[in-house]
Amino acid sequence: MVPVYLFEAFLWLVFAIALVDGLRRFGLKDGLLFFAPLMTYGWVLEETAIAVFQRYAYTTEFFLKYLGAPLGIAAGWTAILYSGLVVALGLRLSGVKAALFTALWGLSIDFSMDALAVRFGYWTWFPPPDVVLPYFDVPVSNFVGWFIILWCFTFFHLSGRGKPYRRLLLGFDAVIPSVPLLLLAIYIMLETEYERVFTSLSWWHMVILFPLPIMSVLSVWLVWLSPARHRENRIPLLIAESFHGFFMVSALYVWWSEGTWIYAAAAAVALAPVLIYTLTAMVRGRASESMPDRQTVPQ
């Protein structure tokens, strides 16, 4: 088992990297208008979901917690969304496409992270007594929730760029519509209890149904877009690679110590899009690395 304090320290490390890079990229004022609401957004969602729906709980071993939600989880959320958004901007995506890309980018990380986090006891899901969660004891609704969270914030954030209400609302214009939409979606998912549809499936059925096709779409999309500004995407890419590296090493440790290889298989599927992005960036972006890159700041 990888101790929770290592995971928590890792989350704060990638957050610090994202924060430094973001302030350099966007400037102090616009950077704070991005990071402060996003960090708050991550914590509010976690705490609200725990308090209202009571379907999961974090271990008490997290060092920095406020109420029931560890602050490091919000920090991790922030780093993941930041990396996906910046890569989307580097690929010249905007609006709906950028939101979709960022959501899939985040899912590529969570497909391996949630499985191993549950395995190591960082958090625990509480399904109804007669419901089995075949994907490593993680509900499908978790991944749906991740998609909604990342898509909503990215879409509303990009929609508010340059608008006068952004500074008036201190950057929370993207958070205000996102939180109720997510909570409504979670409520609908829990009321329908659609998790029961998957109780008879195995883990590899679930991989074929969800991570494999989603990661295939993201991989093809990345190859088709082929990054033109690899130099400016290196830090966001490093953040994503760090997440994948942390959980791939963890999965290999489980395989080596216990002989359980299925976590490594799931982590490999999740790793594929970022690995493909890295390779295409190295091959196709080499000729344009010397070109100046002026990214749009998230006003």
Per-domain residue ranges for the chain? 4-284
pLDDT tens per residue across all 299 residues of the chain: 789 999 999 999 999 999 999 999 999 998 999 999 999 998 988 888 887 778 889 999 999 998 889 999 999 999 999 999 999 988 888 889 999 999 999 999 999 999 999 999 999 998 887 888 999 999 988 898 889 889 999 999 999 888 888 888 888 998 888 888 888 877 777 766 677 888 888 999 999 999 999 999 999 888 887 655 566 788 999 999 999 999 999 999 999 999 999 999 999 999 999 888 888 777 765 555 455 554 554 55
Structure tokens at 177: 């519509």
Vertex 143: Cα angle to 225 and 140 (nearest 5): 135
Structure tokens at 66: 């406020």
- pTM, entire model: 0.90
**Dihedral sign (CA 160, 162, 164, 167):** positive
With tokens 């982590």, the residue in question is: 267
Mapped onto helix, strand or coil, the DSSP state of residue 72 is: helix
For residues 292 and 146, give the distance between their C-alpha atoms in angstroms, rounded to a whole number. Answer: 34
For residues 50 and 67, give the distance between their C-alpha atoms in angstroms, rounded to a whole number. Answer: 10
For residues 10 and 8, give the distance between their C-alpha atoms in angstroms, rounded to a whole number. Answer: 5
